[in-house]
Amino acid sequence: MKTISLDKSFGGTQGVYSHESAVCKSTMTFAVYTPPQAAERPCPVVWYLSGLTCTHANVMEKGEYRRAAAALGLIIVCPDTSPRGEQVPNEPDNWQFGSGAGFYLDATQSPYDEHYRMYSYVTKELPEVIASHFPADMTRQGIFGHSMGGHGAITIALKNPSAYRSCSAFAPIARPMEAGWSKPAFEKYLGSDEAAWRQYDTCALIEDGHRFPELLVDQGTSDTFLEDGLRPIALEKACAEASIPLKLRMQEGYGHSYYFISTFMEDHLRWHADRLA
């Protein structure tokens, strides 16, 4: 692991790091905020998964999480959204696929299956790096994210309920099997058999019996992707039918940007801190 930068913030340290990923077969960059409490004891870990076109830096620079994380004693880990590099197949003119659009799945179709393995990276390889190099209590983990990252957070939590104690999301893609900005990517990464897509679709996972104790979701009512891309009502319906407690907050007038995310960031971190205590 290489240290790219370290900056003191609210008594803790905001770091950016890189390492050679055996899973993604590329150099991966990630950010970690370590709160001041970590100097005395291991701290709970909350994973933040970013959305389409983002890197580790978007939430680090615009998410405004450090003050709350420092007060609550939370380590915040922000992975990248995809593998990167000249050797990684990509579609530079397509913002919904390839670089910045890994969708937190493990691709099965050539040539993408060699590098696009973000599910395994986030759930297995990077946690091992965090456990080895940071004062992290890996028995207390939460996960959340935005849009594509909200989809990633909820699907990962549903499939790994023993690994995470808490899960929340900002404007998650609830039905990526059907949404216009994710369905083409699923076909390229996973092939044409839609049965293989269900393991990375929140509503389908719930329909197929996966469960998580409770979810918090914030969604802006002025989000331009609300009806086609995000479909929170489908998530609400799936959770109701499966008796999964869902706190869905429709936030009047908010859009899809980090103005929205930063407004409710502290609420989400307090939600996680309460469940990781």
Buried b / exposed e over 2-13, threshold 16 CB at 10 Å, is eeeeeeeebebb
Q: Of 82, 147, 166, 182, which one is the catalytic site residue? A: 147
Query: Which of 210, 256, 268, 272 is the catalytic position?
Result: 256
For residue 177, count other CB atoms closer than 10 A to its CB: 17
195 class by beta-carbon count within 10 Å (0-12 exposed, 13-18 middle, 19+ buried): exposed
CA–CA distance, 175 with 198 (Å, rounded to integer): 10
Active site annotation includes 147: yes
Q: What residues contact residue 61 under an 8 Å CB cut-off, 6+ apart? A: none
Q: How far apart are CA 260 and CA 63, in angstroms?
A: 9
Cα three-residue angle 138-248-273, rounded to 5 degrees: 30
Cβ neighbours for 96, distance < 8 A, ≥ 6 positions apart: 52, 181, 182, 184, 185
Q: Among this protein's residues, is 201 annotated catalytic?
A: no
Residue-wise burial string across 76-89, b where 16 or more C-beta atoms lie within 10 A, e elsewhere: bbbbbbbbbeeebe
CB atoms within 10 A of CB 74: 28
Active-site residue (options: 106, 201, 218, 223): 223
Going by C-beta distance under 8 Å and a sequence separation of 6 or more, which residues neighbour residue 85?
26, 27
Tell me the C-alpha distance between 257 and 63, whole Å: 10
Is 223 catalytic? The answer is: yes
Active site residues: 147, 223, 256
